[in-house]
Each structure stands twice: as structure tokens, then as C-alpha cells.
Amino acid sequence: MVNNPYSAYKNNSVLTASPEELTLMLYEGAIKFSNQAIVAIEQKDIQRTHNLIIRVEDIISELRVTLNKDYPIAEQLDQIYDYLLRRLTEANFKKDKEIIEEVNEHIRELRDTWKEAMKIAKVGKV
């Protein structure tokens, strides 16, 4: 097996990340795969498009099942994630770039909000 320093670093960063950082990584991954799916649609690469959309769906599903239902916001996030999953299913069926772009925009907004929440929480701990 070939040692890949990048893979080792990436693996270590996941293993040592806080739950907040892991959530941020999931949002970043969903954005990355959404962007790649858009390119795959433009290239008319049906199988790659399908695989990338499935990866985004898997990430959104993971975010959804890890919601802490003790907080009222969890219900709202659950509804957002449900909507995103339905749109992703439709995008995958139709190979529709515009739907992926819409979903990607929502994920970016969630990510940006999460980053702000992390900053606020960090300031509160000081």
C-alpha cells in the first residue's frame, strides 16, 4: 500500500475533529459533490452524475439522522433536509442542473449559518 500524506492528513483531521467541525466538513463535502455533479451533467456523464448526487444525498441523510431533537431548530432542519433530499431525487431522475444548483445554494446557506454559529459559540466560551 502506497503512503499518501494527503490521505493520512485528511483521515487524521476527521478523527480529531469536534462534532461541530465534522458537521462543517459534511456541508463542505455536499457542496463539493454538488459542484462536481453540475459539471458531470454538463459533460453528459450520466453515471458520474448519478454517483455524485447519491453522495450528496448520503451526506444530507447523515446530517438528518444526527439531529439532536432536544432543540426546536432540529425540526426545522429536518424539514429542510427532507426538502433537499426530495429535490436531489428529482434532480437525479431528470439529471437537472438547475435543481442541483438550487440545492447547492441551500447547502451553502446552511454551511455559512453553521460557520457563524461556530464563531458565536467560540466567542461565548472565551
Kindly tell me if the per-residue pLDDT of 107 is higher than 70. yes
pLDDT score for 12: 59
Asked if 94 and 72 touch (Cβ cutoff 8 Å), the reply is no
- Looking at CATH, the fold of the domain delimited by 21-125 is given as Four Helix Bundle (Hemerythrin (Met), subunit A) (1.20.120)
| 53-96 residue pLDDT tens | 999 999 999 999 999 999 999 999 999 999 999 999 999 999 99
CA distance 92 to 114: 27
pLDDT bracket for residue 16 (50, 70, 90): confident
pLDDT higher than threshold 60 for residue 10: no
Task: List, as own/partner pairs, every contact residues 8-15 make where C-beta atoms lie below 8 angstroms and the sequence separation is at least 24, other chains included.
Answer: none
The cell numbers describing 7, all together, are 490521505
pLDDT level of residue 123 (50, 70, 90 thresholds):
confident
Here the cell at position 38 is 453540475
For the chain, the average pLDDT equals 92
62, 29 in Cβ contact below 8 A? no
7-21, 56-70, 91-105: lowest mean pLDDT where?
A: 7-21
Would you kindly state where each structural domain of the chain is located, as residue ranges?
21-125
Separation of CA 20 from chain center: 13
Q: Above 60 in pLDDT, residue 45?
A: yes
Q: How far apart are CA 111 and CA 19, in angstroms?
A: 14
* pTM across the whole model: 0.87
Query: Mean pLDDT, to the nearest integer, of 45-60?
Result: 98
